Chains A and B, each alone.
Chain A
Amino acid sequence: GSKQSTITSFFSKV
């Protein structure tokens, strides 16, 4: 199965 990733796991807070 596939799992939905999130934007925050790719881009970090500035």
Chain B
Amino acid sequence: MLELRLVQGSLLKKVLESVKDLVNDANFDCSATGFSLQAMDSSHVALVALLLRSEGFEHYRCDRNLSMGMNLNNMAKMLKCAGNDDIVTIKADDGGDTVTFMFESPTQDKIADFEMKLMDIDSEHLGIPEAEFQAIVRMPSAEFARICKDLSSIGDTVVISVTKEGVKFSTRGDIGTANIVCRQNTTVDKPEDATVIEMQEPVSLTFALRYMNSFTKATPLSNQVTISLSSELPVVVEYKVAEMGYIRFYLAPKLEE
């Protein structure tokens, strides 16, 4: 038996909106630690890892580890029916073939339940090693989204370079080139407006902008995004999910042949 009650139901709505276009079907894993998901896009270029820790739920009951295969588009359709202020409860029986999403309005005057069919998904779970990154950039998530959107109107790939000057996002296309440099800036009124660059050594990697743009659909989840880079490793683009966890997108680089 599984019963997870999330007062801030809008978080789950936002999570689904940020992954549904990247991944079609995925297994949600439920354990004492929390509600999690790891899945790759169909071409295995990007991987998403979500964790919502059990402590972040108002009520968290998970009698035994459960893996629930869901079509993320269908799940997003159901969660769209929840109001932004609604409390969302996820319920499932061990061995059952459905999951129920219950939506309660804050004043308890409207209660809805949506039952969705589960599916069997063969998914491979990948071990993600703890990495030492050459550079970690923390910046406003809206700024990062703007940069990815702007650059994708010029080119298909972005070169992200971190030096002591700052972080540079560059692209080139048929019509020309573009370079955007963001410098460290910690003298801001609000901490969420800061740009912080921790560099162990300079690093420069190339990525497909199409995927970066897809990751920025998680922007409503967090004011800040963290971009972690190491030579010839997938970049990690992380958005915190309130105080309860994170959504991390891994993107494999384009490498010189």
Binding site for B on A (CB under 8 A): 1-14
Contact = CB atoms under 8 A, between A and B. Distances in A.
Nearest to B43: A6
Given A13-B124, A13-B126, A7 B255 contact: no
A12 B127 CA distance: 6
A10 B44 contact: no
Nearest to B47: A7
A14 B125 CA distance: 6
Contacts of B129: 11
11 contacts: A3-B255, A3-B257, A5-B45, A6-B44, A7-B40, A7-B126, A11-B127, A11-B128, A11-B129, A11-B234, A11-B250
A1 to B, nearest CB: 6
Given A1-B257, A11-B47, A6 B126 contact: no
B189 interface: no
Interface of B: 40, 43-47, 124-129, 157, 206, 208, 233-234, 250, 252-257
Contacts of B44: 6-8
A14 B256 CA distance: 28
Contact of A4 (B40, B45, B124, B125): B45
A8 B44 CA distance: 7
Given A1-B257, A7-B47, 17 more contacts: A2-B206, A2-B254, A2-B255, A4-B45, A5-B45, A5-B255, A6-B44, A6-B45, A7-B40, A7-B126, A7-B250, A10-B234, A11-B127, A11-B250, A12-B126, A12-B127, A13-B124
Contacts, number: 57
Closest A-B pairs by Cβ, 3 of them: A2-B254, A11-B126, A14-B127
A9 B252 contact: yes
A4 B252 CA distance: 7
B107 to A, nearest CB: 45
Contact of B234 (A2, A7, A12, A13): A7
Nearest to A5: B252
B253 to A, nearest CB: 6
A11 B49 CA distance: 13
Contacts of B252: 4-7, 9-10
Contacts of B127: 11-14
Contacts of B47: 7, 11
A1 B208 CA distance: 14
